[in-house]
Amino acid sequence: MTADAVIPFDDAIAAFDPVMGLEVHVELSTASKMFCSCPTEFGAEPNSQVCPVCLGLPGALPAVNAAAIEAAIRIGLALNCSVAEWCRFARKNYFYPDMPKNFQTSQYDEPICFDGYLDVDVPTADGIKKVRIEIERAHMEEDTGKALHVGGSTGRIHGADFSLVDYNRAGIPLIEIVTRPIEGAEQFAPEVARAYVAALREILRSLDVSDVRMEQGSLRCDVNLSLRRTPADPLGTRSETKNVNSLRSVERAVRYEIGRQAALLQAGGKVVQETRHWHEDTGVTTSGRSKEGAEDYRYFPEPDLLPIAPDPAWVEELRATLPENPAVRRARLATEWGLTDFEMDSLINAGALDLVIATVAAGGDQARARKWWTGELTRIANDRGVDVHDLGVTPEHVVRIETLISEGALNDKLARQVIEGVIAGEGDPDAVVASRGLAVVSDDGPLLAAIDEALAANPDVIEKIMGGKQQAAGVIVGAVMKATRGQADAARVRALLFDKLGVVEEA
Amino acid sequence: MGFMPTISRDEVAHLARLARLDLREDELDHYAEQLDIILASVARVAEVAAADVPATSHPIPLTNVMRADVARVWLTAEEALSGAPASDGRRFRVPRILDEE
Ligand SMILES: [Zn+2]
């Protein structure tokens, strides 16, 4: 396959106005599936969580999961949607072995939630931009099975000899959240797309309805994008890039598609309405199924499921018990913690606010928590190209490490090694401390011995310190830290040194 | 009123393709004729319904029939696969997908 031509982003934006539509699929974290009682554990043995209903065996009757309906309504309310007084499920008919029934139970023209919006803070080079993303609908459906394509060019659909299917995921409740066309984002379109998905994820996490783990596929984003010459022109033909599975990829995929479509249009070509596949490794999209004719899903009302008519009093009760909107909470915390706009922005940019809040809730200090999450941990996450949420470090771990530091059992350097161990999967902080033998040398004996040794090796230091050059102590402290392989408390070494020399340490 | 087909032969061919039915030319003619009779009969029912009667999808006036979110294991992988024409390890084995592209 030849690579598509792409023109530089700035040139593309100078010539075209991008319009986006984002479709986000959220897998709900219910205990059972949407229409049957099968469990929903991630990573279970293939086909060990299936039943006659989700296998589409003859005569099986589906039954709606009440918790999924509740989650759908809460999501809709949190996105400022109206909730349907009455709505039905529909069959979306298609033949593809990821759905053994030969249809997917979904909703068609009667989504349970519709007409909402989400206000998003978009971090840009020009500072935070506030953008309102309009939500067209949030509807209920079920996830599909997972197909593994074998033979041919490995892993690709084309040329596969056969496919192996696992239906554990088939029937897991999904909420699909669809935006109206997002116009006016201009050069910030990639950032707007990313910020929207991030904000949505934050809300979903606050609702506790989904794991929202993009790398595990419990939150997936499809990016629809089209270009037009000016905002006055009608919408152009769009491409639909499927399964963009990280925040960074959402931003990159939008940027790439703008460059690709612009190149096509500049060269006098036409954008084809099609599904495109995002390639995380190369950062490009490639052509997939052509949409033409593929959208004939022959929807009709699902006869095996009765309509849903949420009791208005129940809906109001759900509304009243929604958690605080994360954006509102952010403003409140900035005040409570006395943060400057800059500090709050860097916390948001790091995508770590919820982690800091959780760390504070677990008993941590907000300043120290911010330092960990936006400093060391964000740096490690960036180095590894993963989200800071997915490092495997929890707020409780951070609190524990901070406690160990304040007790003098760890110093900063050792604490970083503990974090490394936690990320490497060696267990919780106490387990890492124990297995790696990381502990500050708290016994003064070995420290004094190391100080003597360091003084002997640096005979001029004593004179300097006695002569008032207290900064010379750094040489000795450094040598002791080195001798104890970082397992000494630097402040303690310093104190012991001055004590030994009978010098009062200057503040 | 003369005979007005409510479904064209092209539409029948399109539906057959969507349903992955490989119909011969004479079968298409045959089914187009039969489907047309069925649709005409249904259309007669539609004439009776006034504009203020919404289309019925569920004849029984029940709503909100739900089950509690309680998980229960139903089948082992072996049981699930026992009726499959082909399997491989713990997975269903199906013919290659999207061959037509
Ligand atoms: Zn099932």
Output the six-digit token pair for B40: 């005409």
Residue B99 has pLDDT above 50, yes or no: no
Contact A190, A18 (CB under 8 A): no
Residues 33-62 of A with CB under 8 A from B: 36-40, 45-52, 55, 57
Q: In terms of CA atoms, which chain A residue is nearest residue B94?
A: A163
Question: Is residue A439 in a domain?
Answer: no
Q: In terms of CA atoms, which chain B residue is nearest residue A49?
A: B73
Residue among A357, A399, A347 at smallest CA distance from A378: A347
- Regarding whether A173 and A271 lie in a shared domain, the answer is yes
Which of A313, A348, A365 is at the close of a domain?
A: A313
Q: Does A128 touch chain B (CB under 8 A)?
A: no
- Regarding whether A487 and A384 lie in a shared domain, the answer is no
Task: Collect contacts of A351-354 with beta carbons under 8 A, ≥24 apart.
Answer: A351/A198, A351/A247, A351/A387, A351/A388, A351/A389, A352/A377, A352/A378, A352/A388, A353/A202, A353/A326, A354/A202, A354/A205, A354/A206, A354/A326
Beta carbons of B73 and A307 less than 8 Å apart: no
- Regarding whether A334 and A205 lie in a shared domain, the answer is no
> What CATH number is associated with residue A475?
1.10.10.410
Question: Is residue A298 in a domain?
Answer: yes
- Regarding whether A309 and A348 lie in a shared domain, the answer is no
Question: Is residue A425 in a domain?
Answer: no
- pLDDT score of A292: 47
pLDDT band, very low/low/confident/very high, at B100 (cuts 50, 70, 90):
very low
Q: In terms of CA atoms, which chain A residue is nearest residue B62?
A: A306
Q: In terms of CA atoms, which chain B residue is nearest residue A161?
A: B96
Question: Is residue A318 in a domain?
Answer: no
Beta carbons of B64 and A40 less than 8 Å apart: no
- pLDDT score of B2: 40
- Regarding whether A453 and A405 lie in a shared domain, the answer is no
Can you tell me the distance from the alpha carbon of B47 to that of B50, in angstroms, rounded to the nearest whole number?
Answer: 7
Q: Does A162 touch chain B (CB under 8 A)?
A: yes
More confident residue, A307 or B55: A307
Beta carbons of B65 and A63 less than 8 Å apart: yes
Q: Does B62 touch chain A (CB under 8 A)?
A: yes
Which residue matches tokens 């026992």? Answer: B82
Beta carbons of A149 and B92 less than 8 Å apart: no
Can you tell me the distance from the alpha carbon of A271 to that of A235, in angstroms, rounded to the nearest whole number?
Answer: 12
Q: Does B56 touch chain A (CB under 8 A)?
A: no
- pLDDT score of A160: 62
Question: Is residue A72 in a domain?
Answer: yes
pLDDT along chain A (507 residues), means of 10: 86 98 97 98 94 95 98 98 97 90 95 97 87 98 91 59 93 98 97 96 93 90 97 96 92 97 96 92 85 72 96 97 88 90 81 89 93 92 88 95 89 90 93 86 82 89 85 89 82 87 78
For B71, the closest of A38, A50, A306 (CB atoms) is A38
- Regarding whether A253 and A202 lie in a shared domain, the answer is yes
Q: Does A166 touch chain B (CB under 8 A)?
A: yes
- Regarding whether A180 and A38 lie in a shared domain, the answer is yes
**Residues with Cβ–ion distance below 5 A, ligand 1:** A 36, 38, 51, 53-54
- Regarding whether A480 and A381 lie in a shared domain, the answer is no
Using DSSP's 3-state secondary structure scheme, residue A441 falls into coil
More confident residue, A476 or B55: A476
pLDDT digits (tens, 9 = 90+) for A48-87: 999 999 999 999 999 999 999 999 999 999 999 999 999 9
Beta carbons of B80 and A47 less than 8 Å apart: yes
Rounded to 10 degrees, the C-alpha dihedral B44/B46/B48/B54 comes to 170
Question: Is residue A435 in a domain?
Answer: no
Contact A33, A40 (CB under 8 A): yes
Contacts of B89 in chain A (CB under 8 A): 46, 164
Rounded to 10 degrees, the C-alpha dihedral A10/A12/A13/A14 comes to 80
- pLDDT score of A1: 53
Q: How far is the CA of A359 from the centre of ligand 1 (A)?
A: 38
- Regarding whether A234 and A107 lie in a shared domain, the answer is yes
- DSSP annotation of A471 reads G
- pLDDT score of A153: 56
Beta carbons of A306 and B98 less than 8 Å apart: no
- Regarding whether A182 and A37 lie in a shared domain, the answer is yes
Residue B36 has pLDDT above 80, yes or no: yes
Question: Is residue A436 in a domain?
Answer: no
- Regarding whether A26 and A56 lie in a shared domain, the answer is yes
Beta carbons of B72 and A37 less than 8 Å apart: yes
Query: ipTM of this model?
Result: 0.87
- Regarding whether A338 and A268 lie in a shared domain, the answer is no
Q: Which domain holds residue A362?
A: 325-412
Output the six-digit token pair for A475: 């040489």
Can you tell me the distance from the alpha carbon of A404 to that of A366, in angstroms, rounded to the nearest whole number?
Answer: 17
Q: Does B90 touch chain A (CB under 8 A)?
A: yes
Contacts of A169 in chain B (CB under 8 A): none
Q: Does B80 touch chain A (CB under 8 A)?
A: yes
Q: Does B24 touch chain A (CB under 8 A)?
A: no
Beta carbons of B96 and A163 less than 8 Å apart: yes
For B76, the closest of A48, A161, A298 (CB atoms) is A48
Beta carbons of B63 and A309 less than 8 Å apart: yes
Question: Is residue A434 in a domain?
Answer: no
Residues 481-500 of A with CB under 8 A from B: none
Could you give phi then psi for residue A18, rounded to 5 degrees? -80, 140
How many domains in chain A?
A: 3
